[in-house]
Amino acid sequence: MDITTPIWRKPDVMGYWLPPILWGIAVLYMSGNVGSATNTRNLLQWLLSWFVTVELDQIDLINFYLRKTGHVLAYGFMYFLWFRAFRGHADYGPGRACLWSLGFCLLYSSMDEGRQWFFPTRTANIQDVVLDMSGASLAALITAAVWRPRDLAAPIPLVSWWRQPHVLFYWLPPVLWSLAVLAVLRGLVPVETTLGPLKWFVSWFALVDSFDLKILNLYLWKAAQAMAFGILYVLWFRAFQGDAGVRRGRACRFALGLCLLVAVMHEGLQTFARTPGGSIHDVILDLSGVSLAALFVAAVWRPPYHTLTIAGIAGRQTRSPK
C-alpha cells in the first residue's frame, strides 16, 4: 500500500466515505432555518402555481406530508451510504455494517433534532427521530435482502436497471400497494362512501336499519384492511423470494418487517396529523392478516425451480415399481 499518498487523494476512500459525510452535513444544514416549514411551503406554492391553483390549507397539508416523507427518504439514503462504506471498503460483515450504519443514522437524527432547539422557526420532537429511524430500518431491510458483494454481483448497467422487466414485475407491485394502503387508510376513501353501495346491495335480500348498516360497513372495512395487509405480505414475499433469491425464512422475516413498518407508519401519520381514528388494535388487525397470509404462503409456496408439472406427477404415480 502506498503510504505517501494522502488519504483524501485515494479514490477508493473518497468514493466510499465522502458521500455519507457530505450527505450528513447536508441533512444537518437543512435542520436550520433553511429547511423550515415556511420556506418549504413557499417553494411548494411557487411550484404548484405553474400547474394548478391550490388553496392554502391544502398546500399546508401537502407540505406536511412531503416533509415527513423527506425524513424517511433522507435517512434511508443515509443508511445506504454508510452501509456501502462499511461493507464495501471497511470489509465489515453484514450484521456489523448494519449496526454501525443504524448507529450513525441515530446519531445524525439526534443531532438534527437537537439543533432545531436553537432555531425559533423549527420544532424538535422525538417523533421525528422515530420517523427517521423508520426510513433507516426500511433501507436496512431492503439492503439486507438485495445486497450482493462485488465479487459475486453480475455487472448491471445502473442507467437502465429500472427498465429491466423483473424489477418492475417483482418490486413495483408491493411498493405501489404499500402507497395505496397508506392512502386509503389515511382517509383518501372515507368509510361513509361505502354505505350507499352496501345499502343498495343489502336491500336485495333484507331490510336493515341504519345503525346495523353502519356496524356491518365498519366490519367490512376491518376485514378489507386485514386482507389488504395479507396481500401486501404476499407481494413482498414474492419479490424477496422470486427476484432477490432470499431463502424462505429470511423472505418471511423481511416481508413481516415491511408490513409491520407500513402499519406503524399508518398510525404514525395519524399521530402527526392529529386526526382521530386508528389505534394499536388496528396494528394488531393488520398483523393478523399478515400472519394468516404467511401461514398460507408457507403451506402452498413453491419456488419456480421446485415446481412439478401435473404430467410429471401423474407419470410418477402411474409408474410401476421395478
If you search the block for the grid coordinates 422470486, which residue do you land on? 242
Domain boundary residue, one of 155, 186, 205: 155
pLDDT band at 157 (very low <50, low <70, confident <90, very high): very low
**Is there a single domain that holds both residue 89 and residue 49?**
yes
Query: Is residue 199 assigned to a domain?
Result: yes
- Whole-number pLDDT of residue 165: 57
Query: Is residue 316 assigned to a domain?
Result: no
Mean pLDDT is lowest, of 168-172, 178-182, 189-193, 289-293, for: 189-193
C-alpha to C-alpha distance for 199 and 196, rounded to whole angstroms: 5
**Is there a single domain that holds both residue 222 and residue 150?**
no
Average pLDDT over residues 150-171: 54
Domain boundary residue, one of 155, 188, 220: 155
C-alpha to C-alpha distance for 321 and 312, rounded to whole angstroms: 16
- Whole-number pLDDT of residue 102: 93
Mean pLDDT is lowest, of 73-87, 147-161, 284-298, for: 147-161
- Whole-number pLDDT of residue 22: 92
Per cent of the chain over pLDDT 70 is 76
**Is there a single domain that holds both residue 134 and residue 160?**
no
pLDDT band at 99 (very low <50, low <70, confident <90, very high): very high
User: What is the domain range of residue 289?
Assistant: 156-300
pLDDT band at 112 (very low <50, low <70, confident <90, very high): confident
Count of structural domains, the chain: 2
Q: Is the pLDDT of residue 78 over 90?
A: yes
Q: Is the dihedral of CA 112, 95, 17, 146 positive or negative?
A: negative
CA separation, residue 185 to residues 188, 194, 237, 268, 281 (Å): 7, 14, 22, 12, 14
**Is there a single domain that holds both residue 172 and residue 284?**
yes
Of 239, 248, 229, the residue nearest 290 (C-alpha): 229
Q: Is the pLDDT of residue 38 over 90?
A: no
Query: Is residue 202 assigned to a domain?
Result: yes
Average pLDDT over residues 142-161: 55
What is the CA 258 to chain-centroid distance, rounded?
A: 6
CA separation, residue 265 to residues 54, 103, 127, 256 (Å): 26, 21, 11, 14
Backbone angles phi, psi at 314, to 5 degrees: -65, -40
**Is there a single domain that holds both residue 91 and residue 122?**
yes
**Is there a single domain that holds both residue 162 and residue 290?**
yes
Query: Is residue 314 assigned to a domain?
Result: no
- Whole-number pLDDT of residue 194: 77
Query: Is residue 109 assigned to a domain?
Result: yes
Per cent of the chain over pLDDT 90 is 10
If you search the block for the grid coordinates 406427477, which residue do you land on? 313
Mean pLDDT is lowest, of 96-100, 116-120, 189-193, for: 189-193
Query: Is residue 36 assigned to a domain?
Result: yes
- Whole-number pLDDT of residue 210: 77
Beta strand segments in 69-137, E: none
- Whole-number pLDDT of residue 79: 93
Query: Is residue 309 assigned to a domain?
Result: no
pLDDT band at 139 (very low <50, low <70, confident <90, very high): confident
Of 148, 131, 20, 158, the residue nearest 71 (C-alpha): 131
- Whole-number pLDDT of residue 224: 86
Q: What is the mean pLDDT of the chain?
A: 76
C-alpha to C-alpha distance for 268 and 278, rounded to whole angstroms: 10
CA separation, residue 130 to residues 30, 117, 166, 270 (Å): 18, 17, 33, 14
- Burial group, residue 230, by CB count within 10 angstroms (0-12, 13-18, 19+): buried
Write the pLDDT tens digit of every residue in 263-310. 887 776 655 544 445 567 777 888 888 888 888 888 777 665 444 444
The helix/strand/coil state of 33 is helix
Mean pLDDT is lowest, of 44-48, 105-109, 234-238, for: 44-48
**Is there a single domain that holds both residue 141 and residue 14?**
yes
The helix/strand/coil state of 291 is helix
